[in-house]
Amino acid sequence: MNSIVATRKHMNANETVHHYFDRAADVLELEESTRRLLKMAKREITVEVPVEMDDGRIETLVGYRVQHNNARGPMKGGLRYHPEVDLDEVRALASLMTWKTAVVNIPYGGAKGGICVTPRDLSRKENERITRKFVDQIHDIIGPDKDIPAPDMGTNAETMAWIRNQWEKYHGFNPACITGKPVEDYGAKGREEATGRGVGILAFKMLKRLGRRPKDTRVVIQGFGNVGSHAAKFMHESEFSIVGISDVSGGYYDPAGLDIPAALHYMIENRSLKGFAQAERITNEQLLELDCELLVPAALGSVITLDNVERIQAKYIVEGANGPVDADADERLFDRGIAVLPDILANAGGVTVSYFEWVQNRQYYSWDLNRVRQQLDSILSTAFEDVWQLANEHNVSLRTAAFMIAIQRVKRSTELGGF
Ligand code: NAD
């Protein structure tokens, strides 16, 4: 391992995104002034969220919304409830959204929000009160033409319904103010499965390009929430052999291939994989290092780091989660010939179907599931081919190619609009 890599060990989430940006900007020979303009967030907001808990105590939480860039359209990005949420992480995720919406070429910019809280420890009513209080603080800066939130870790369709209801108290009826809503209440069919399905679609395309058949591909998936479970379902149906899955309770392994329908059923019944007996129990650390062809980290950021990168045995990685690979580890993976399909493309299925939801809301017209799936496939396929081709042309990683495409699009819109 060389010393440059070692000195990068403590790069935080935002520095990591800047590092990826700069690597692409170097190939594009971007000037320093343009880099600064495109890297910096347009607006960052930190708000106090005081809330009365069920036992009468007052808890004061901290909420964030970072609006990174709106050169290509209204800003778009999830809302995360997690105990490790902080401004640095939200900032990094907001800029990833700018690059993500640009790489799949949908007319949005990037934003992200979060509240530092453990949703598991909250009652449903507490969760609702926190959500409504947060909207009270930020309602003026979000909306269908400004910034459109969506679900992320720890939030779901119900959270989005509360946000919409609270936002509409101030601004009137407009379901396009938020996406990821319940399907029966202006949501889009296929939104819930979209990110995981997109991960599966793109994994399939990448392996096809590499001349590998799903049947001969052993897959390990970290995380069995929205992204991981839908990716597992799609990949199982596409005949991949899924040998490892995990959630916060640990890892579950069967070298002969797991019974994914049984695991999905167990998960729905128990809201966790804890106790799933049809597999060998392993730790999440062991799971990442399993002998397999394809690894899909679909839980948290920074799970592949300098500490474990040399022990990763997968030949391909598809980033279901945002930022699962640290920048220094990413370089080692590239040196070792391990192909990484980056988060800004790999998990863009969710924001793509969020875009379809927003379009349907604005047209008061609802698409059927087939149309959603076909359009999703079409947008992701085009983006994949663009990235694949550019990576080969310039002999750069798929991540650098994806950033190059995204940066060029945002730069072009910025130039066309003027300052
Ligand atoms: P989720 O809350 O539905 O699921 C998260 C999963 O990770 C759960 O199975 C949880 O048990 C597991 N997990 C939590 N801590 C863990 C740990 N320490 N080790 C192993 N597993 C752990 O969240 P999600 O919506 O599936 O999001 C997962 C990732 O995908 C996040 O990085 C998120 O930003 C990203 N993402 C989500 C979407 C979306 O549409 N939901 C879109 C793009 C990106």
Using CA atoms, how far apart are residues 332 and 226, in angstroms rounded to an integer?
Answer: 29
Q: Which of 10-24, 140-154, 157-171, 204-218 has the lowest mean pLDDT?
A: 10-24
Whether 349 lines ligand 1, by a CB cut-off of 6 Å, is no
With respect to residue 92, please indicate whether it lies within any of the assigned structural domains.
yes
Number of domains present in the structure of the chain = 2
Strands 339-341 and 280-282: unpaired
With respect to residue 112, please indicate whether it lies within any of the assigned structural domains.
yes
**Minimal-distance CA residue to ligand 1 atom 31:** 321
Whether 225 lines ligand 1, by a CB cut-off of 6 Å, is yes
Whether residue 247 is found in the same domain as residue 306: yes
Q: How confident is the model at residue 11 (pLDDT cuts 50, 70, 90)?
A: confident
Distance 69 CA to ligand 1 centre (A): 24
Whether 74 lines ligand 1, by a CB cut-off of 6 Å, is no
Question: Residues 14, 93: contact at Cβ < 8 Å?
Answer: no
Whether residue 241 is found in the same domain as residue 115: no
Catalytic residue IDs: 112
- Is residue 115 scored above 60 in pLDDT? yes
- Dihedral sign, CA of 80, 90, 404, 322? negative
Whether residue 201 is found in the same domain as residue 143: no
Whether residue 48 is found in the same domain as residue 154: yes
Q: Give the pLDDT confidence score for residue 70 in this predicted structure.
A: 97
With respect to residue 302, please indicate whether it lies within any of the assigned structural domains.
yes
Q: Give the pLDDT confidence score for residue 10 in this predicted structure.
A: 62
Whether residue 172 is found in the same domain as residue 58: yes
SS3 249: coil
Amino acid at 327: A
Distance 294 CA to ligand 1 centre (A): 18
Distance 229 CA to ligand 1 centre (A): 10
Distance 363 CA to ligand 1 centre (A): 31
CATH number for position 92: 3.40.50.10860
**Minimal-distance CA residue to ligand 1 atom 5:** 225
Q: Give the pLDDT confidence score for residue 37 in this predicted structure.
A: 96
Give the residues across from 294 on adjacent strands. 219, 316
Whether residue 104 is found in the same domain as residue 161: yes
With respect to residue 80, please indicate whether it lies within any of the assigned structural domains.
yes
pLDDT tens for each residue of 20-33: 999 999 999 999 99
- Is residue 419 scored above 90 in pLDDT? no
Question: Range of 267's domain?
Answer: 194-346
Place of tokens 């969506």: 150
* 106's tokens: 């949908």
With respect to residue 368, please indicate whether it lies within any of the assigned structural domains.
no
Question: Whole-model pTM above 0.85?
Answer: yes
